[in-house]
Amino acid sequence: MAVPFQRGGNRGYVNADEINLECKASGRRLIVSSLQTFDEWSVAYVSVPASFCASEVSLIAVSNAAAPDSYLGIATPFEVSRATYLANSGFGVKQMIVAATMLVLLVIFFASHVIVAGFRKDVDAFGAGMIGVGIAGMIVFSAAAINPVLARATGVAILASSIWLCAWGFAKGDLRTVWNQHRTALTLWLAAAMCLTSFVAGIDNGGGRWAVNAMFSPLSWSTDNENPIVFAQALAHSYGPMLAGPWFLDDRTPLLTVLLIIPQTLFIEPIAELVGSDFVYNADGIAGIAILTMWIPVVAWFATKIEVRHRTFFVALVLLSPFALFNTLYIWGKMLGAGYILLAVGLMLSVPVDPDRPRSNLSLIPSALALSYLAHSGNAIAAIAFLIVFFPVLRVRDWRILLVGTLLALAVMAPWQIWTTFVQPHGNALTRFQLANDVGFDHRAKSVLTSMLETLRATGWGKWFQMKRFSFHLLGDVPGNVVLYRPIDNRSPSWLGNQRAKDFAVLARTVGIPMLGVLPALVAWIRGKADPLVTRLIWCGFLGIVAMTLLIIQIAVVHHMAYGSVILLAIAGSMYLANRASVWPKALFIAYCLYGGITWIVDPITHADHLHVAPLIYCALWGIVGAYAAMCLPACKVNHQRLWETSRGAYA
């Protein structure tokens, strides 16, 4: 059966809202859903065991109103087929969606390399492929801006042309070389997507597309992950004002939304014709996990560009953290943008140190930075920090290559700039919220700068300094002394739940053990014994974080930061720790994994409404596949130390 509901009360609190089926004869109860939907409607799919009740059953819903504006709503339950139930709440169809999405993305990845290799053979195949995936999304967006039918047709055309290009490339033998070179990183991508999808399917709280919002309660989050899904459906089906409640499409940058349109058109909507339209939204959330995990093979590829003593340990340090887990499962574009920032750094390391060889990979960097912004606008700050810190690596003779790359990046950005200027102007709610603490739904035409100046004048310098002092304190608040409120709430009676909220919000906690490597790396830099790449990554990360903290009016919790800056700190700290010959980093990491496993895996499992064992077993098996792939990563063949030395001489 299916039970439509809306639920405002926070899950994980005493006297939270309840939705249950109750057997009239025995009084036995079966939970329908404990999920919080922030007063938005969702559908819980329930399979009632035959042994549950031999008599009539009542649906009991009790609102305890955790907040004055929180409500519990129930619409008429209705019968659904077993196929509909399994598609929306089962495991097999979700795995199929992930596999199909991965296949489409990989076909575009390889086709992009074929196109680029036709112009320059020395361009990094992995970088070209990842940028090609992002460009494919923006091509779909350009078509959607003209007509929704054209958007759907463009997705089909991109796949068909990509398949033809791949067939041609493999026939020539070019793509076999690319596959052999990057199969380990791409296998890790598949394993991560399957593992995380299995984990979500195993913990059933009756949430459907809202499943991840409250999976880690009392840490919860509201509609940010719903908007890309809603807008992907709207862009592909209705031309006109693009709205999700009060939100405009261009209140957020569009890359995740437009990438969702491709699997949505190709196979999600055809399946929905058989099992119901609600499946589109649930399946888009699953396809979103496959798209967001793109940052994971970037980490693996980056590991082959650097010299570390323990390569597998480096990858594990970066990937196994609350920062990686929550932000990859939650369908917003932040980690996608972080992946493109890291891709830009890796492309910088891919340029040859020989001054006589062409440095064609530099042409891809502007597009990587543009796509990081199109995934999440906060990465504009991370991109500026990247350009400042890595500028000395450039040479005067690189200007032609960079000009070509900049023109390509401008072409990638152009559809979005046209949309925000002519089609739907004044999409500035989130920018205004960050800079002026005002979403401005009722005065969008008002200048953001004007709102910002008005807020600063009303705040005053004294209060502004006090707010910034509090923000910087919160970024390093390892004990978690600061009280956080909705939707990041650490006031529940659950100690482990409160730790999840702090792990999510506090910078010094969210990336885990790698933060312990950042401070010693800075000490090594002061002593003149630091790896120059580690030092540059730290300064790049800190520059972006400090700039964002000073710029915004909001409290500086992690989700307000540029994720490109956060991931560079995680990379730098992991590089430092993975280069230690001693065992203490590994011992600390094992202890931290024990803490993280209990806090982020075991505790949510024990609080699930309905636990499905088979997906959790598959989750473990795919985790083993991912671990094996990480152990098989090839070693670095380029001495990045020489890059800095050569660049310093050329720059001087």
569 CB-contact burial (10 Å; exposed 0-12 / middle 13-18 / buried 19+): buried
Peptide bond into 493 cis (omega under 30): no
CA atoms of 90 and 382, how far apart (whole Å): 39
Confidence of residue 640 (pLDDT cuts 50, 70, 90): low
Please report whether residue 52 resides in a domain. Answer: yes
Domain limit, last residue, from 49, 79, 109: 79
pLDDT in tens, 179-220: 888 999 999 999 999 999 999 999 988 877 788 887 888 787
pLDDT of residue 435: 93
Domain limit, last residue, from 54, 79, 104: 79
- CB under 8 Å, gap of 24 or more: what pairs does 177-180 form? 178/110, 178/113, 178/125, 178/129, 179/110
What total number of domains does the chain contain? Answer: 2
Record the pTM.
Answer: 0.95
Mean pLDDT (whole number) for 222-237: 85
Place of tokens 């887990």: 325
Q: CB of 323 within 8 A of CB of 512?
A: yes
Q: What percent of the chain has pLDDT over 70?
A: 95
Mean pLDDT (whole number) for 53-80: 85
Please report whether residue 638 resides in a domain. Answer: yes
Q: Cα 434 from chain centroid?
A: 20
Please report whether residue 133 resides in a domain. Answer: no
Confidence of residue 652 (pLDDT cuts 50, 70, 90): very low
CA atoms of 255 and 336, how far apart (whole Å): 9
Domain limit, last residue, from 62, 79, 96: 79
Please report whether residue 163 resides in a domain. Answer: no
pLDDT of residue 447: 93
pLDDT of residue 30: 94
Q: Is pLDDT above 60 for 646?
A: no
> How open is the CA angle 557-563-567, to the nearest 5 degrees?
110
Please report whether residue 204 resides in a domain. Answer: no
Give residue 574's domain range. 457-651
Least confident of 106-115, 235-244, 483-492: 235-244
pLDDT in tens, 600-636: 999 999 989 888 999 999 999 999 999 999 999 987 7
DSSP bridge partners of 208: none
CA atoms of 228 and 230, how far apart (whole Å): 6
CA atoms of 334 and 416, how far apart (whole Å): 18
Confidence of residue 318 (pLDDT cuts 50, 70, 90): very high
Please report whether residue 262 resides in a domain. Answer: no
Mean pLDDT (whole number) for 499-521: 94
Please report whether residue 115 resides in a domain. Answer: no
Please report whether residue 624 resides in a domain. Answer: yes
pLDDT of residue 67: 65
Mutual orientation of helices 334-349 and 379-390 as an angle, nearest 10°?
Answer: 10
Q: CB of 305 within 8 A of CB of 349?
A: yes
Q: Is pLDDT above 50 for 58?
A: yes
